[in-house]
Amino acid sequence: MNIMMRSAIGITASVMILGLVSCSRPPETERTSDNKIIQEQPPLETTATEIAKEYADNAVAADNKFKDITFNVTGTIADVSKNFIQEPYVSLKGGIDTSKEPQFVFQQSEKDKGAELKVGQNIRLQCIGQGDLADVPMAGECKILE
């Protein structure tokens, strides 16, 4: 093999290895359509009381803040139950209206942990907001942080 052929093979192999390495790591940033870098933000930190108050004050504005957003929420468990499709969830005390306490449905991997929770227990969850459903703030895909 001549030197040109060896160089071409070496360069091709290097590019392939770099491509594989970069595919195995999640991106640390995102880019907009005009190629500007967007830094990923840490999840919003909030409480069940703040969520309940914001939804009571203005559900549209609260949806704009929480819906489809990952956030960490702390609160005291008001109820442990299952929804209509038998998924375990917790309601956290919000202090606004007990019939409209924010509800948090667990992701599949956390469902067994839901059976261990108790009313009155303090908890911290990471969830994705699902918005206002029948005047109740909802979140899903929750995992227990503490």
Digitized pLDDT (tens) for each residue of the chain, 146 residues in all: 554 444 444 444 333 333 333 333 333 445 556 665 565 788 999 999 999 999 999 999 999 999 999 999 999 999 999 988 889 999 999 987 888 999 999 999 998 898 899 999 999 999 999 999 999 999 999 999 96
> What are the beta bridge partners of residue 139?
104, 129
pTM for this model (two decimals): 0.72
Burial class (CB within 10 angstroms; exposed 0-12, middle 13-18, buried 19+) of 111: middle
**Vertex 127 angle, CA 122 and 129, to 5°:** 120
- Of 87, 113, 91, 111, the closest CA to residue 102 belongs to 91
Torsion of CA 44, 49, 52, 56, to 10 degrees: -120
How far apart are alpha carbons 142 and 106 in whole angstroms? 4
Give the 3-state secondary structure of residue 113.
helix
| Residues in contact with 82: Cβ distance below 8 Å, sequence separation at least 6, in sequence order | 88, 89
CB 88 within 8 A of CB 116: no
Closest CA to 80 of 118, 49, 120: 118
pLDDT at 98: 87
